[in-house]
Amino acid sequence: MPTPEEPTRDLADSYPDGVLGARADGVVTVLNDQAASLLRVPRESRGQQLADVLRLQDQDARTWLEVNDPFGSISIRRGIPEQSWLNDAGEEVLTTARILRDVPLGPVTGVAIGLRTGRGRARLDRERSDLVATVAHELRSPLTGVKGFVQALLNRWDKLSDDQRKLMLHTVHSDADRLARLIAELLDVARIDTGRLQLYPRDCDGRVLVQRVADSVAAGTARPIEVVLADDVPGIHADPDKFTQVLTNLVENAVRHGEGVVRVSLEALPPEQTWPGARIVVEDEGDGIPEELRRQVFTKFWTSGAGGSGLGMYIVHGLVRAHGGDIAIGESPSGGARITVHWPSAQNLHESSPSPPAPPS
C-alpha cells in the first residue's frame, strides 16, 4: 500500500527542476530525482540533515547554508533570490529558496529550495557573447573604412581630384548603409525574440512585389535572375516592407552563395492545401545546403563561411512565421539550394483557417 508521502514524491518528481525541502530542525523531507541528480546524492537522502544533502559551495568554498542561514533569518525575510553555486562535480547549479513560516513574521518552520542546472544560463551567456562578438566584428570593418576615408578627405582635400573625392564619398555612403542594415537587423532580432514585431499587413499583389525585388537585385549583379509568375496567384496578405525584406534576403543569398541562374517563381498553392495562398520559390545552381545543416540555417549567427552577421535567415524565418506562413529548405533540380515559402492569401487571413502546413523540403 502506498504511503501518504508517495503521491507528494510523484508530484515532485514530475517537476522539471530540482525540489528540496527541509523542516526547521534541518531534516530533509522533500527531495525529487532532479534535485538528487544536481546535488549528486542518493535519492534516499530524505531524513538526513540538510547540511549533508545540500553540499553546494561558492568559489570561496563556503556552503549554501553557511552563506544564507535560512533558519536564522530575521522575521521579515521571506526568500532568497537566485544564486549560482557549484556541486561536487564542479557543475553550476542555480538555486532559489522560500523561507516558510506558519504565520507572518513568525518563527521559521522550514525552507523550500528550487535547483536547476546552469547550462541554460551558460548557453544564454554564450549567445550574448556571440552577439557582442558578431556586432563588434561587423561594425569594425565599415567603421574603419568610414574613418579612413573621412580622415583622408580632411587631410588631403586640396590634393585630391573631384573623381577621387567622389569615389571616397561613395565608399563612405556604402559603408554607412551597411551599418544601417546591421542596426536594422539587430532591432528586428530583438523584436522577434521579445514578440514586439510590428506588422502593418494589407492585401497585396504578390506578382508586383516579386518582380520589383527581382529587378532591384538584378540591377546590382551580373548573375542572371529568371522570374516566373503564374497568372492565377491569389492576392497575399502581407506587410509590403516585410515581404520585400524577406524576398530580397532570399534572392540576394542565392546570388551571393549560389552559382548559375537564380530562379524566382510565384504560383498559387495547390487546391489540396488546407488554406489558400501563394508559393514563392527561390533556387540557384550552386552546391546547395547539406540536409544535416538545413535546420541550422534559421538559427541566429549561422553563416555558410562567406561572412555576414548570420542574422538574415533568422529574421526571414521570424517574419514569415509572423505572417502565418512557413518556410523550408530543399534541393533544386540542379542540386543547388531551393527555398520554398508558403504565404497566406488575403482570403486565408480573413477567414478562420487551420495553421499552415510546412512546405515540402
Nine cell digits for residue 212:
520589383
Mean predicted confidence (pLDDT) in 279-303:
85
The pLDDT score that the predictor gives to residue 191 is 87
Taking a C-beta distance cutoff of 8 angstroms, is the pair 23, 30 a contact?
no
- Residue 58 has, within 13 A of its CA and on its CB side, a CA count of 11
Residue 204 has pLDDT above 70, yes or no: yes
Hunting for cell 568610414 — which residue is that?
A: 146
Q: How confident is the model over 124-140, as pLDDT tens digits?
A: 677 677 667 767 777 78
Is residue 353 very low, low, confident or very high in pLDDT (cuts 50, 70, 90)?
very low
Mean of the per-residue pLDDT values for the chain?
85
| d(C-alpha 81, C-alpha 249), whole Å | 44
Mean predicted confidence (pLDDT) in 51-63:
91
| d(C-alpha 235, C-alpha 227), whole Å | 18
Q: What are phi and psi of 104, to 5 degrees?
A: -55, 135
| d(C-alpha 89, C-alpha 257), whole Å | 45
Q: How far is CA 207 from CA 2, 203, 216, 224, 268, in A?
A: 68, 12, 14, 19, 11
Mean predicted confidence (pLDDT) in 279-305:
83
State CA 26 to chain mean position distance: 43
| d(C-alpha 110, C-alpha 117), whole Å | 23
Neighbours of 298 (CB within 10 A): 18
Q: How confident is the model over 159-174, as pLDDT tens digits?
A: 889 999 999 999 898 8
The pLDDT score that the predictor gives to residue 308 is 62
Nearest alpha-carbon partner for 229 in 277, 268, 178 = 268
pLDDT-above-70 percentage for the chain: 87
Nine cell digits for residue 220:
546590382
User: Which runs of E-coded beta strand occur in the chain?
Assistant: 18-23, 28-31, 79-86, 92-101, 108-117, 202-204, 225-229, 236-238, 262-268, 277-283, 326-331, 337-344
Residues 6+ apart with CB under 8 A from 59: 86
Taking a C-beta distance cutoff of 8 angstroms, is the pair 285, 261 a contact?
yes
The pLDDT score that the predictor gives to residue 110 is 95
The pLDDT score that the predictor gives to residue 352 is 38
Taking a C-beta distance cutoff of 8 angstroms, is the pair 28, 77 a contact?
no
Residue 7 has pLDDT above 80, yes or no: no
Cα first-last separation, the chain: 53
Taking a C-beta distance cutoff of 8 angstroms, is the pair 79, 111 a contact?
no
Higher pLDDT, 276 or 342: 342
Residue 218 has pLDDT above 60, yes or no: yes
Mean predicted confidence (pLDDT) in 287-303:
82
Higher pLDDT, 129 or 282: 282
Domain 202-350: CATH class, spelled out? alpha beta
Residue 163, judged by CB atoms within 10 A of its CB (0-12, 13-18, 19+), counts as exposed
Q: How far is CA 354 from CA 89, 94, 270, 324, 346, in A?
A: 49, 41, 16, 10, 14
- Residue 190 has, within 13 A of its CA and on its CB side, a CA count of 8
Is residue 18 very low, low, confident or very high in pLDDT (cuts 50, 70, 90)?
very high
pTM beyond 0.75: the answer is: no
In order, the DSSP letters of 21-84 are: EEETTSBEEEE-HHHHHHHT--TT-TTSBHHHH---B-TTS-BHHHHH-GGG--TT--EEEEEE
Domain 124-194: CATH class, spelled out? mainly alpha
Residue 226 has pLDDT above 60, yes or no: yes
The pLDDT score that the predictor gives to residue 351 is 43
Helix, strand, or coil here: 175?
A: helix
Is residue 65 very low, low, confident or very high in pLDDT (cuts 50, 70, 90)?
very high
The domain ranges of the chain are 5-117, 124-194, 202-350
CATH number of 5-117: 3.30.450.20
Q: How far is CA 337 from CA 183, 289, 302, 306, 308, in A?
A: 28, 6, 16, 15, 18
Mean predicted confidence (pLDDT) in 255-259:
84
Query: With the C-alpha atoms ordered 345, 315, 119, 18, is the resulting torsion angle positive or negative?
Result: negative
Residue 349 has pLDDT above 60, yes or no: no
Residue 314 has pLDDT above 80, yes or no: yes
Is residue 2 very low, low, confident or very high in pLDDT (cuts 50, 70, 90)?
very low
